[in-house]
Structure 1
Amino acid sequence: MADAMPAMAHEGDDLRRKQREYLFPNLATLYEEPLVIVRGEGKYVWDDQGRQYLDAFGGILTVSLGHCHPEVTERVARQLRTLQHVSTLYVTEPQVRLAERLAGLAPGALKRSFFTNSGTEANETALVVARAHTGCDDVIVLRHSYHGRSMLTMTLGGTHGYRAATPVPGVHHLASPYCYRCPFGLTYPSCDLRCAKDVEELIQTATSGRVAAFVAEPIQGVGGFITPPPEYFKEVVSIVRRYGGLFVCDEVQTGWGRTGTYLWGIQHWGVEPDIMTSAKGMANGLPIGWTITTDDIAQSFRHSTISTFGGNPVSATAALAVIDVILEEGLADNAARVGRFLMDGLKALQEKYPCMGDVRGMGLMIGVELVHGGKRPAPDLLNRWLEATRKRGLLIGKGGLHGNVARIAPHLNVTRSDAEIMLRIMDEAMAEVQPYMEV
C-alpha cells in the first residue's frame, strides 16, 4: 500500500492538470488546491493521498444516505443487470412504482409526476406547466435564490454569479426573507413581514396584474441557507394566489427529511404547494429530477412530450431504495435530533467567536455566516475556515451572495458522535481563523 501512495498522488496531480486543460475554466472548486476524491464509503471519502475526510456536504446535499449505501447500491446493481434504459416511450415498473409511491408521500393534492435528469429540468418543467395552466408568463422569484443552470432557471436565480448573461423575460425578483440582512432595515417580528407583503406591490408595478407562479425554496440553498420566519410562506403565497399565481416549491435541497421531522421542508411553514420539484438527495447521487402537481394542473400540459433519460429504471430504482431507507430508519427524525445538537453546538461556538455572525437553518441544513466588524461579509475568513477544516479531516460547503456562508449538511443517518467530531474540528479550525477578523 505504501508503494501505491506516491503513484496515487502523482495521478492526482495529473488529474488536476488535465482538469485545468480540458474542462471549462469556470468550473468551481472549494479549495485553493482542488481536492481529488478517489473513493467514498458511508460518512467518509478519501483523496488521492489516501487521507480520510468526514463528509459534511455530501456532494451538495445529494449523497443523502452516505457514499455507496449498501442497500441502494445492491438494488441499483440488480436493476442494471435487468433493464437499464428504454425511455418514457415505454412503461417500466420502476418509474410507475416510484410515481405511485410519491403520490402517497407528497403534501396535499399533489399526484401527477414527471421525471427528468436534474433539479434544473424539474424546475423548467414546473414553469412550463404553471404558464400553461394560468395562461400567464410572469413569474415571481426571490433574490438570493438558485433554481438551476439552464437559461430560464439561471434567470430565476437571484445571485449574480449564477445568472445568465441574457435573462429570459417575465421573471421578477422579490426581496428575500433574509432576517440577518433585512433589505428593509427592519427586525423580525416587529417588521410585520414587510418582505412577504411587498410581493403585492411588485405584482402591481412590474407585471400585468396577473402572475403564473411564485417559485421559492423553503430554505435557500446556494443563497446561504437563508431561513424564512414561520409565518412567511402563508403570507406571501396567499397574496400570489389572489393574483392567479401558483406556488412552485423547489425542494431540490430541502426535501427527503433534510430539514428534520417532516419529509418536505415546506411542511414546517404549513403551506401546500401547487407544484413541487426535487432532485439531489432523491437518488443518493444518481441523476434524477422530479416535478409533481395536482391532477387538474397536470391536465394543462397538453402537448405530447418525452423525457429521454427521466424516470429511467436505474435512477427510479435508486429513488425507491432511498425512500425505503429514509422511512424505515426514521431519518427525518434523526435529522431533527442530530440537527438540534449541531445547531446548539454551533450557537455555542458563535458566543466564542465574534466572526460567526449568524447561525441559521433547520435539521441537517445549517448555515454559518462569517463576518468582519459591522457585519461586513468575510469570504476570506470562510476560505480560511474551509482550508482549516479540510486539514483536520472535515469537508463542509460554502454559499451566500458574497461567498461567506459555510454550508453544513451531513448525510441523513449521521450520528451524534459524528456531530461531536464535526463540532470539535470546527472549533479548532475557527480558533485558527478568528485572529484574522477585522474589527
Structure 2
Amino acid sequence: MTGSLLARLLRRSSPQQSRFICQRSISQSAAERTKETVSVEPPVLPAFDYVPPPYSGPSGDEILAKRKEYLSPSIMHFYKSPLNVVEGKRQYLFDENGRRYLDGFGGIATVGCGHCHPDVVEAIIEQTKKLQHSTVLYLNHAVADFAEALASKLPGDLKVVFFTNSGTEANELAMMIARLYTGCHDIISVRNSYHGNASGTMGATAQSIWKFNVVQSGVHHAVNPDPYRGLFGSDGPKYAKDVQDIINFGTSGNVAAFISEAIQGVGGIVELAPGYLSAAYDSVRKAGGLCIADEVQSGFARTGSNFWGFEAHGVQPDIVTMAKGIGNGIPLGAVVTTPEIAKVLTRRSYFNTFGGNPVCTAAGLAVLKVIEKEKLQENAFVVGSHLKERLKALKDKYEVIGDVRGQGFMLGVELVTDRELKTPAKEETLHVMDQMKDLGVLIGKGGYYGNVFRITPPLCFTKEDADFLVDAMDYTLSRM
C-alpha cells in the first residue's frame, strides 16, 4: 500500500476504520520486509583446492543400521539425518557424496593442524614403519623427544611427563597423584565441569547430566563461577569463597586437590569469572592441597592469547592434564607435574601399556612443530577475535542469542527464548544446528541445558571460514 493511497483512505474513514487500515498496512509492510529477507541467497563455502576421490563404501543408512545392531545404544549422533563422514582435509570434512563441510567443532581434537595434516600423517607413517609399540622398559627416542618438547611449553618446574591414552586417564592419574602426595582424600571440583568417563572423573564432573551420577567419596562440588548465569556475575573472589567454605566445613581442613578447566568445554564454553582461579588456588594451597589444571580442551594454543588456558588467569598449577588435540586425533594424553610431586609414584609401580607409545608421541611432536611453524596460536587469536566480534554483532541483531563468550577458537553462543529470564532455547538450538549443516557448516552443542553452540574449529581456520560460519548462522536465524 503506497503512502498517498494510505493517506486518502485515512481521510475518508472513521476512527475504527483508520485503525484497521493502519494495522493492515503495518502487517503488509512486515510481510514485504520478510519477503525481502527470505529472498537473500544462502552463503557459499569458501573455495578449496581439493576434491576427494569417489566414495565406494557403505551408505550412511547402512552404517546407522549396523550401529543400532552392534554398538552401544548409549552412542548418540548429531542431526536428524546423521552425517556419514568419509574424509577430512584441514578444516573441511567430506560426506559420502563428496559434499564439503566446514568443521567448526571437531577441531577440539585436531588442534591447529586440521584433518590429515601432511606433516603429522608423515610422522605417524614413518614411525609405524619402524616401530609401532614397545614397552617403556626399553628405550625409544620418540617418547623422550616429545616429553622434552612438551615440558618446554610449560612454565616453572612443570617438566615431568606421564603419558596416557586419553584425557580421562590423565585426570584419573592426576587425582591419584594428588591424593598420594598430600595423604588426603578430598577433591574439590567445579559444578558444570567435565573431566572424563571413568568412575573417579565422573564423580569430579559434578553434573549427572554429563555422566552417570557416580558417587565418589571425598569429592566436593564448588559453586560454578559462571559470569552469565551465576549468582555473583563476574566477581570471581565471591564464587571462590565457596571453595574456602568447603575446606572449612566439608573436610577436615585439608584437601588433596582442586581440579578445574580454564574454560568449561562440554559445560557450554563458560569462562570462569575473573579472579576466581587465583583465589581458589590460594585457599587450596593453604589447606595443603595441589591445584590441577584440566587443559584437555583449552590447551595447545586454542585460546589464542596463551598456549594454555590457565595462563590467562595469572596462575601456575601444580599438575596439568591434557589430551584431545595433543595428537591431532591420535589417542594420546599426558600429565605434567614437578619433579618433587612426580616422585610419589616411585613408592609403587605405575605403568601404562600403551600410554606414550612411539607412534602417538611421534604424532604429538609433529603437532607441536606445526603449531610453531604455521603460527597457529597467532592465527587463533587474530581470526578467533574476528569470529567473536562477528558473533557478538549477531547477538545485537537477534534476541534469541543471550550470550557470546570464550577466547580464540573456543567460543560459545547461548540461545534463550527470554533474555531477562535466560530461558534455554533447546529446540531452537537443534533447529539451527540442522539448518547450518544443510548449508555446509558443522558446529557442536553443550551447556547444562543443551542450548549453547560450541564453536571449536581447527586452528588453521581462516577469516573467510569464520565469515562463512557467521553468515550461515545469520541466514538460519533470520528464517527461524
TM class by shorter chain equals: over 0.9
Q: CA RMSD in A?
A: 1.6
Q: Which residue of 1 aligns with 2:340?
A: 296
Shift of residue 349 of structure 1? 0.3
Q: In the aligned structure 1, how far is the partner of 2:469 from the partner of 2:84?
A: 21
Which consecutive residues of structure 2, in runs of 5 or more, have no partner in the other structure? 1-50
Shift of residue 172 of structure 1? 0.4
Q: In the aligned structure 1, how far is the partner of 2:306 from the partner of 2:236?
A: 27
* Structure 2 contact 236–275 (Cα < 8 Å) conserved: no
Shift of residue 11 of structure 1? 2.0
Q: In the aligned structure 2, how far is the partner of 1:383 from the partner of 1:264?
A: 31
TM norm structure 2: 0.86
Q: In the aligned structure 2, how far is the partner of 1:252 from the partner of 1:64?
A: 14
* Structure 1 contact 61–410 (Cα < 8 Å) conserved: no
1:77 aligns to 2:125 (yes or no): yes
Q: Which residue of 1 aligns with 2:267?
A: 223
Aligned pairs for 1:118-157 (under 5 A) are 118-157=166-205
SS at match of 1:193: helix
SS at match of 2:430: helix
Q: Which residue of 2 aligns with 1:269?
A: 313
Judged with a 3 Å threshold, the aligned counterparts in structure 2 of structure 1 residues 85 and 192 are, in CA distance, closer, same or farther, namely: closer
SS at match of 1:357: strand
1:354 aligns to 2:399 (yes or no): yes
* Structure 1 contact 199–236 (Cα < 8 Å) conserved: yes
1:109 aligns to 2:157 (yes or no): yes
Of residues 425, 429, 434 in structure 2, which corresponds to 1:382?
Answer: 429
Shift of residue 202 of structure 1? 1.3
Q: In the aligned structure 2, how far is the partner of 1:192 from the partner of 1:46?
A: 43
Q: In the aligned structure 2, how far is the partner of 1:192 from the partner of 1:279?
A: 27
Shift of residue 293 of structure 1? 0.3
Aligned pairs for 1:322-333 (under 5 A) are 322-333=367-378
Q: Could you list the runs of 4 or more consecutive aligned residues of structure 1 that deviate by over 2 angstroms after TM superposition? A: 59-64, 161-166
Of residues 414, 421, 428 in structure 1, which corresponds to 2:475?
Answer: 428
Residue type matched to 2:479 in 1? E
1:134-190 alpha-carbon deviations (Å, 9 max, x no partner): 0001000000100000011111102222233432211100011111111x3x333xx
Q: Which residue of 2 aligns with 1:437?
A: none
Q: Which residue of 2 aligns with 1:187?
A: 233
Of residues 256, 259, 265 in structure 1, which corresponds to 2:303?
Answer: 259
1:340-369 alpha-carbon deviations (Å, 9 max, x no partner): 000000000000011110000011000001
Q: In the aligned structure 2, how far is the partner of 1:99 from the partner of 1:61?
A: 20
* Structure 2 contact 109–329 (Cα < 8 Å) conserved: no
Shift of residue 19 of structure 1? 0.7
Residue type matched to 1:139 in 2? I
Q: In the aligned structure 2, how far is the partner of 1:59 from the partner of 1:344?
A: 20
Shift of residue 409 of structure 1? 0.9
SS at match of 1:114: strand
* Structure 1 contact 149–162 (Cα < 8 Å) conserved: no
1:14 aligns to 2:36 (yes or no): no
Q: In the aligned structure 2, how far is the partner of 1:4 from the partner of 1:91?
A: 43
* Structure 1 contact 159–223 (Cα < 8 Å) conserved: no
Aligned pairs for 1:268-287 (under 5 A) are 268-287=312-331
Residue type matched to 1:265 in 2? G
Shift of residue 338 of structure 1? 0.6
Q: In the aligned structure 1, how far is the partner of 2:432 from the partner of 2:194?
A: 24
Q: In the aligned structure 2, how far is the partner of 1:36 from the partner of 1:297?
A: 45
Higher deviation after alignment, 357-366 or 228-237: 228-237
Q: In the aligned structure 2, how far is the partner of 1:28 from the partner of 1:247?
A: 33
Q: In the aligned structure 1, how far is the partner of 2:172 from the partner of 2:330?
A: 19
Higher deviation after alignment, 47-56 or 241-250: 47-56
SS at match of 2:59: helix
Which consecutive residues of structure 1, in runs of 5 or more, have no partner in the other structure? 434-439
Shift of residue 119 of structure 1? 0.2
Q: In the aligned structure 2, how far is the partner of 1:89 from the partner of 1:431?
A: 60
Q: In the aligned structure 2, how far is the partner of 1:91 from the partner of 1:32?
A: 49
- When the two structures are aligned, how many residues end up with a matched partner? 426
Of residues 408, 417, 442 in structure 2, which corresponds to 1:372?
Answer: 417
Judged with a 3 Å threshold, the aligned counterparts in structure 2 of structure 1 residues 232 and 292 are, in CA distance, closer, same or farther, namely: same
Shift of residue 63 of structure 1? 4.6
1:319 aligns to 2:367 (yes or no): no
Residue type matched to 2:326 in 1? M
Q: In the aligned structure 1, how far is the partner of 2:74 from the partner of 2:80?
A: 14
Q: In the aligned structure 1, how far is the partner of 2:344 from the partner of 2:236?
A: 37
Q: In the aligned structure 2, how far is the partner of 1:169 from the partner of 1:411?
A: 38
Q: Which residue of 2 aligns with 1:436?
A: none
Q: In the aligned structure 2, how far is the partner of 1:166 from the partner of 1:223?
A: 18
Residue type matched to 2:259 in 1? V
